Structure 1
């Protein structure tokens, strides 16, 4: 079983009870940066009395995602596998969607927990009363691709959120 668990954005108290429950039973925690996730688990143990088994931490980030998933077997998910990003919702401008696609293709059960999402939080906090918004995620880093994406974001007619 795979669970995608959102992590707090800035305030550790924003973690949900359900997220704590799932993390407490994880056998394997896939994460963007094992150092960041181990620190988060340590803080959750201190502040929210999180009790865990001793999960195995494995790095899964944008630079190794395709290679990592290519090596997976369905048996890997016989364990309680959790994927977290460093902050926010996995799969939204962070790795995670390829992992979900793998599970879909292999018939592996998965669960997506609701939680922190910077784009939706920013939209609500903006006070804009528009009913439509467009999320671009991260812009390309350089050159014409960046300029083109920025032009599209600025002149699309919708409230637009960029990371």
Structure 2
């Protein structure tokens, strides 16, 4: 949490949250209370955006936060920003934590060029295609993955290239943050013996010659 973000949250007339139940303890931790909280998530963002735009144009300062990471990056926020641009409503982006760049640096993989693929598909065929494309790109591939699917995804990765450089970054910036690095075969073997929990970022890079 940056000092600038706290300043805006304290000044805001209302705060749009991905999940008010998650945001309320965060705000309480920083002594921010008495602010109207509005739910803004994937299922209502398109409907809520006009309401928030109207409030902003009437003079309200509205802050937008998500449960973890940067709003708009596989999180709500994209549609609201689009609406601001379309209506000429001023908005400001406050840089903050992002699992994408945190995992990239922590992996130790090349950082000069990378591709972020968002959440991998629930369909194994599409996961295979995405992982193959990342390995063939020469860049570091970054994906979000569910703990319920990471084992099957690692199995697919090991089938494509067992020597592929692989990193599973878990629970970034939290108490139980971990990085597991190795070949696809090695990382698969580890998680076969130790079932994964928590939020996961998967990074892949073709094996070095």
TM range, smaller chain: 0.7 to 0.9
Give 5+ residue unaligned stretches, structure 2: 145-209
1:127 Cα deviation (Å)? 1.7
- What is the rounded CA distance, in whole Å, between the counterparts of 1:68 and 1:75 in structure 2? 10
Question: TM (normalized to structure 2)?
Answer: 0.63
Give 5+ residue unaligned stretches, structure 1: 1-14, 46-50
- What is the rounded CA distance, in whole Å, between the counterparts of 2:85 and 2:131 in structure 1? 33
- What is the rounded CA distance, in whole Å, between the counterparts of 1:87 and 1:74 in structure 2? 23
Q: Which of 13, 17, 22 in structure 1 is aligned with 2:3?
A: 17
Report the equivalent of 1:40: 26
Report the equivalent of 1:161: 142
- What is the rounded CA distance, in whole Å, between the counterparts of 2:48 and 2:132 in structure 1? 35
* Alignment of 1:63 onto 2:43: yes
Which digits, 9 at most, give the CA deviation of each residue in 1:61-84, with x for residues without a partner?
Answer: 112222222x43643112110100
- What is the rounded CA distance, in whole Å, between the counterparts of 1:76 and 1:97 in structure 2? 18
Report the equivalent of 2:84: 103
Which digits, 9 at most, give the CA deviation of each residue in 1:132-158, with x for residues without a partner?
Answer: 011111112235444433333343321
Note if contact 2:105-2:111 (Cα within 8 Å) is conserved in structure 1.
no
Q: Which of 117, 122, 125 in structure 2 is aligned with 1:141?
A: 122
Structure with greater contact order relative to length (CA < 8 Å, sep ≥ 6): 1
Structure 1 residues 42 and 74: alpha-carbon distance in aligned structure 2, compared to 1, 3 A threshold: closer
Question: TM (normalized to structure 1)?
Answer: 0.79
Structure 1 residues 74 and 154: alpha-carbon distance in aligned structure 2, compared to 1, 3 A threshold: same
1:44 Cα deviation (Å)? 1.6
Q: Which of 107, 111, 115 in structure 2 is aligned with 1:126?
A: 107
- What is the rounded CA distance, in whole Å, between the counterparts of 2:75 and 2:67 in structure 1? 9
Structure 1 residues 83 and 74: alpha-carbon distance in aligned structure 2, compared to 1, 3 A threshold: closer
- What is the rounded CA distance, in whole Å, between the counterparts of 1:117 and 1:155 in structure 2? 25
